[in-house]
């Protein structure tokens, strides 16, 4: 009898647990097959070894294999402002510290170096995709491509001038030009990124709404972050910020509202009814004393929530393991209900739900055949992880980014035994030191 011909594969991964995310729980004694940057198969280990002839097989005893984490809101280049202006309320932080420093120092080179630094931190911590909002998106896109990281580039819009653009029309035209140049890059996608209701006019919001509908792109903006924002909107426009955006036609399945700390019941119902998404950034909200988002009420209403780190200037870590744990604990403490945002929901928010907000859930966010191989191996063998009853519980409540050992993006190895593959830490440290000197001169 002729032996059955085996199917070729680039990589066979043999973790102790596979966490698919699309279904609750874990798979033990299963293999994940990667071919051409895609998840080709997920099946029992014995069947995989009988069926596939792999160029590489990697055993991962004591590891959980999870989808790459998706950072739903950040300002990557602001990693160069890490610790620059701590312990200051939001508007004073922006007006007195961040915006003046940005006006003086932000450039193509600043954004490229800051984004590379952020990409290295995120990849080392299991984040394989981020939704970015910052100036000079072309430089950011080039840095993400150099790092081999997946990203949604925000086409940032403001009404006031910066080193990047002079007015709203200039921001939009430059953003659209970057999209035209980079839209064929498989790792990059795009979103409109009007900064916030208090920095964008009705006319500009209207234009963005039309363009987003025509191009099928998300709209990514800060919303209801502080009480002052709501008060100022009522004074200037006669309505709260979310109602203003609803009247301008921005709310819908492509709308990602960042923070949503101070939303009332009517606004929660409106977000749910329109199929909107919320990027929840618990660490940044606490550090800037903005408040605690009503996650339990948002989820009960059916609003899709993903987690974001915000920028390193206001966090100061780009660490989604920390955000998962904090988000789950805050939701329980604020609601008085220990069952709110359980571990399975927190992990899903950091993966598949965030991917859904970016219209990327058909490509990433879970471990199922046909999706891209954005994968993360987490070592659960440490003393602090013993005993282990439920790997998903440990991923949210016990493990940290220091437990990430391997990361793949589109099937390409980016972190190997806790060492970055394509980025040199000493080079990044030198770049950061250069900009620290410039900022403190």
Indicate whether 391 pLDDT > 60. Answer: yes
Note whether residue 280 is domain-resident: yes
Three-state DSSP class for residue 209: helix
Three-state DSSP class for residue 316: coil
My answer on whether 26 and 87 are in the same domain is no
Q: What is the mean pLDDT of residues 287-312?
A: 97
My answer on whether 56 and 200 are in the same domain is no
Note whether residue 425 is domain-resident: no
My answer on whether 164 and 215 are in the same domain is yes
Alpha-carbon distance of 290 to 225, in angstroms, equals 6
Indicate whether 4 pLDDT > 80. Answer: no
Indicate whether 288 pLDDT > 60. Answer: yes
Q: Cα-Cα-Cα-Cα dihedral of 378, 307, 163, 183, to 10°? A: 70
| pTM of the predicted model as reported, rounded to 2 decimal places | 0.97
Q: What is the pLDDT of residues 303-334, one digit of tens each?
A: 999 999 999 999 999 999 999 999 999 999 99
Confidence of residue 1 (pLDDT cuts 50, 70, 90): very low
Q: Picking from 62-66, 102-106, 139-143, 335-339, which range would have the lowest pLDDT averaged per residue?
A: 102-106
Nearest to 415 by CA among 383, 374, 367, 387: 374
My answer on whether 297 and 404 are in the same domain is no
Inter-CA distances, 77 with 80, 114, 119, 125, 134, Å: 6, 4, 9, 17, 7
Inter-CA distances, 163 with 16, 156, 160, 276, Å: 50, 13, 10, 32
My answer on whether 156 and 18 are in the same domain is no
Confidence of residue 91 (pLDDT cuts 50, 70, 90): confident
pLDDT computed for residue 441 by the predictor: 84
My answer on whether 56 and 186 are in the same domain is no
Confidence of residue 3 (pLDDT cuts 50, 70, 90): low
CB 178 within 8 A of CB 171: no
My answer on whether 173 and 251 are in the same domain is yes
User: Which domain, by its residues, includes 21?
Assistant: 7-67+369-410
Helices then strands (H, E): number in the chain? 17, 17
Task: Domain count for the chain, please give it.
Answer: 2
Q: What is the mean pLDDT of residues 414-438?
A: 97
Alpha-carbon distance of 98 to 213, in angstroms, equals 32
My answer on whether 21 and 62 are in the same domain is yes
């Amino acid at each position: 009898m002729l032996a059955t011909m085996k199917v070729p594969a680039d990589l066979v991964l043999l973790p102790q647990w596979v966490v698919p995310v699309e279904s609750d729980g874990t798979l033990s004694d299963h293999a994940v097959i990667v071919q051409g940057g895609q998840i080709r198969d997920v099946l029992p280990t014995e069947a995989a070894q009988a069926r596939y002839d792999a160029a590489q097989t990697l055993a991962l005893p004591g590891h959980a294999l999870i989808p790459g984490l998706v950072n739903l809101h950040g300002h990557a280049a602001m990693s160069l402002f890490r610790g620059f202006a701590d312990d200051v309320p939001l508007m004073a932080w922006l007006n007195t510290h961040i915006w003046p420093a940005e006006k003086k120092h932000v450039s193509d080179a600043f954004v490229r170096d800051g984004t590379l630094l952020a990409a290295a931190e995120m990849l080392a911590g299991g984040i394989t995709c981020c939704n970015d909002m910052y100036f000079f998106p072309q430089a950011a896109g080039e840095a993400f491509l150099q790092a081999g990281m997946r990203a949604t580039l925000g086409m940032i819009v403001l009404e006031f001038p910066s080193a990047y653009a002079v007015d709203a029309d200039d921001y939009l035209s430059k953003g659209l030009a970057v999209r035209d140049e980079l839209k064929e890059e498989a790792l990059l996608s795009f979103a409109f990124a009007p900064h916030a209701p208090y920095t964008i006019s009705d006319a500009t919001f209207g234009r963005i709404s039309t363009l987003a509908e025509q191009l099928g792109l998300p709209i990514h903006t800060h919303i209801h972050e502080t009480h002052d924002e709501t008060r100022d909107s009522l004074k200037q426009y006669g309505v709260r910020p979310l109602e203003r955006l609803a009247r301008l036609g921005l709310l819908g399945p492509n709308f990602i509202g960042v923070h949503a700390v101070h939303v009332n019941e009517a606004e929660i119902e409106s977000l749910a009814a329109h199929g909107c998404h919320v990027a929840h950034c618990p660490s940044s909200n606490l550090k800037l004393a903005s408040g605690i988002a009503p996650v339990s009420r948002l989820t009960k209403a059916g609003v899709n929530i993903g987690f974001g780190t915000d920028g390193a200037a206001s966090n100061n870590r780009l660490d989604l393991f920390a955000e998962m744990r904090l988000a789950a604990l805050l939701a329980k403490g604020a609601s008085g209900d220990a069952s709110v945002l359980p571990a399975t929901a927190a992990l899903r928010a950091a993966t598949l739900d965030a991917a859904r907000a970016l219209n990327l859930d058909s490509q990433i966010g879970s471990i199922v055949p046909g999706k891209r191989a954005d994968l993360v191996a987490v070592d659960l063998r440490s003393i602090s992880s013993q005993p282990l009853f439920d790997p998903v519980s440990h991923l949210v409540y016990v493990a940290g980014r220091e437990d990430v050992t391997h990361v793949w993006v589109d099937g390409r190895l980016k972190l190997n035994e806790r060492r970055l593959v394509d980025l040199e830490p000493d080079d990044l440290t030198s770049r950061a030191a250069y900009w620290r000197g410039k900022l403190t001169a």
